[in-house]
Each structure stands twice: as structure tokens, then as C-alpha cells.
């Protein structure tokens, strides 16, 4: 795996990743018996160090909910996002566990060798500069140096929570205690960047962190995604 390395801070409340950030999305469900292994793999990837910062996004889909277990982390938003990737990758059907690395490639979320290989590949090449800071309940963000040939991009904010557990009593995982890392609690589109009009984007946004989320386990993930190819062009993380 990757060697440990330090992350340098830009200021008291600003984080600009000095390692190369790579977004790893896992479409998963507590109702899927094949998913716990992939959930554990995502957690392991997130803990690796070195010159690559693996940013986990555990996105729990809702289409398993009618099969005996209601996944409390699931959302139709994540199911729709997975379906969108399915169209981009031109696959016959989406599935769980499905892993997507930097919006560039999809494969089984239970394949650690493929995951490490694709993460290293995704870390190559130019990327946008993404910065954010928090002042009180206000998030300040800035995106610049978006690599060509990007024409337009969406700017997303994901709020993730780690060290979450569920005792499953029905469905395919009945009787199991499941642990999750990087669970996406919310995913919001903050803005749109049209390269014909502007080469950079900056804005302020209000943080809406729910009181039931354990703040010490919460992380903000800001990322820029090409609207056409869905390639993730840059990302940064910050603990609020």
C-alpha cells in the first residue's frame, strides 16, 4: 500500500491537500451480502498514506431497501448518481458493491488489487487547485487552475461521517454488525464553472451539519467534476 506522509496546512482553518487527492466512491448497501467486504476495503484505502490522499465516499443506494432491511444511510440521490455513472460508462446495469475512482473508471468494489491500480493511475496528470476554509458556520471555497480541455464543471460538497455501525436484523446481512467509513451524509451542488466565462470560482456557503452527526468524525469533501466526462478534476478535504 501507500507510505505515510504529512499533510501541510495552508493556515489555521484552511486545508489544501499537498498529497494528490483521489476520490473513491463506493455504491453499497447494508442489505447486500457482498457489500461488507467492499465497505471494509474502502475503510482500509482511506487509511493509506504516501503521496496519494484517498478520499472515501460511501454512497448507500436505496434500491435494496425493499428486500428486508432499511438502510438508514441510503438515499435515492445516491441511486440516481450511480445510474448516471452507468450511462457514462455504458454498462448494462449498475450493481453493488460498485467502486468508481475519480469518476474515470468503475469496477467491483471487492477487488483490492484493481482499486490500488486505478487509484495510482487516477493520481497522474494535472488537476485543479481546490481550497476551502471554515469560519463559524460559513464555508469559503475557491477553485482555480482547472486543467484543459474542460469546458464546464460542477462543484460538489460532500459531508461524510466515519466510524458508523449498524446491527442488521433482517435481509441478507441479518445478524451482522456492519461498520462504515466515509459515509456520505449529504451531497450538494454548490456551483457551476463555465470555462468560457471564468477560469476560477469562489463562493461562500452555509454549513448545515446535523446535531446527530458526531462532529469529530465528520469531514467536508469539496470536489470539481467535469460535466461531460464526469472525471473528477480536483478535490480537498477539511474537518469542520
Q: Residue 190's domain is classified under what CATH number?
A: 2.60.40.10
Nearest in space to 103 (alpha carbons), one of 150, 163, 49: 150
Distances (CA, A) of 126 to 41, 148, 225: 27, 9, 14
Look at residue 48 in the predicted model and tell me its pLDDT: 86
Is residue 176 classed exposed, middle or buried when 0-12, 13-18 and 19+ CB atoms within 10 A define those classes? middle
Look at residue 67 in the predicted model and tell me its pLDDT: 93
Domain that holds residue 40: 19-238
Look at residue 4 in the predicted model and tell me its pLDDT: 30
Query: For the residues 24-31, what does the mean pLDDT come to?
Result: 98
In a domain, 98, yes or no: yes
Cβ atoms within 10 A of the Cβ of 172, count? 18
In a domain, 2, yes or no: no
Say how far apart CA 219 and CA 135 lie, in whole Å. Answer: 15
In a domain, 220, yes or no: yes
Query: Under DSSP, is residue 36 helix (H, G, I), strand (E, B) or coil?
Result: helix
Look at residue 15 in the predicted model and tell me its pLDDT: 43
CB contact at 8 A, 32 and 69: no
Query: For the residues 84-108, what does the mean pLDDT come to?
Result: 98
In a domain, 10, yes or no: no
End-to-end CA distance of the chain: 28
In a domain, 75, yes or no: yes
Strands in 69-119 per DSSP E: 98-101, 105-108
Task: Please determine, for residue 35, whether its predicted confidence score (pLDDT) is greater than 50.
Answer: yes
pTM (two decimals): 0.91
**Beta partners for residue 221, in sequence order:** 158, 237
In a domain, 14, yes or no: no
In a domain, 228, yes or no: yes
Distance of CA 180 to the CA centre of its chain: 13
In a domain, 11, yes or no: no
The number of folded domains in the chain is 1
Amino acid at each position: 500500500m501507500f507510505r505515510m506522509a504529512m499533510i501541510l496546512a495552508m493556515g489555521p482553518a484552511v486545508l489544501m491537500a499537498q498529497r494528490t487527492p483521489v476520490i473513491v466512491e463506493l455504491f453499497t448497501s447494508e442489505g447486500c451480502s457482498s457489500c461488507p467486504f467492499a465497505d471494509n476495503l474502502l475503510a482500509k484505502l482511506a487509511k493509506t498514506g504516501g503521496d496519494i490522499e484517498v478520499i472515501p465516499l460511501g454512497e448507500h443506494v436505496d434500491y435494496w431497501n425493499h428486500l428486508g432491511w432499511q438502510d438508514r444511510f441510503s438515499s435515492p440521490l445516491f441511486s440516481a448518481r450511480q445510474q448516471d455513472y452507468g450511462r457514462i460508462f455504458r454498462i448494462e446495469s449498475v450493481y453493488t458493491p460498485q467502486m468508481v475512482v475519480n469518476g474515470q473508471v468503475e469496477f467491483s468494489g471487492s477487488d483490492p488489487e484493481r482499486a490500488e491500480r486505478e487509484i495510482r493511475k487516477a493520481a497522474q496528470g494535472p488537476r485543479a487547485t481546490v481550497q476551502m476554509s471554515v469560519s463559524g458556520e460559513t464555508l469559503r471555497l475557491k477553485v482555480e487552475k482547472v486543467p484543459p480541455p474542460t469546458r464546464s464543471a460542477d462543484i460538489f460538497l460532500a459531508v461524510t461521517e466515519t466510524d458508523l455501525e449498524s446491527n442488521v436484523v433482517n435481509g441478507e446481512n441479518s445478524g451482522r454488525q456492519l461498520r462504515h467509513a466515509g459515509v456520505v451524509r449529504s451531497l450538494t451542488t454548490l456551483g457551476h464553472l463555465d470555462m468560457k466565462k471564468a477560469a476560477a470560482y469562489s463562493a461562500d456557503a452555509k454549513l448545515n451539519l446535523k446535531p446527530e452527526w458526531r462532529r469529530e468524525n465528520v469531514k467536508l469533501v469539496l470536489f470539481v467534476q467535469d460535466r461531460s466526462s464526469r472525471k473528477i478534476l480536483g478535490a480537498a478535504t477539511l474537518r469542520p
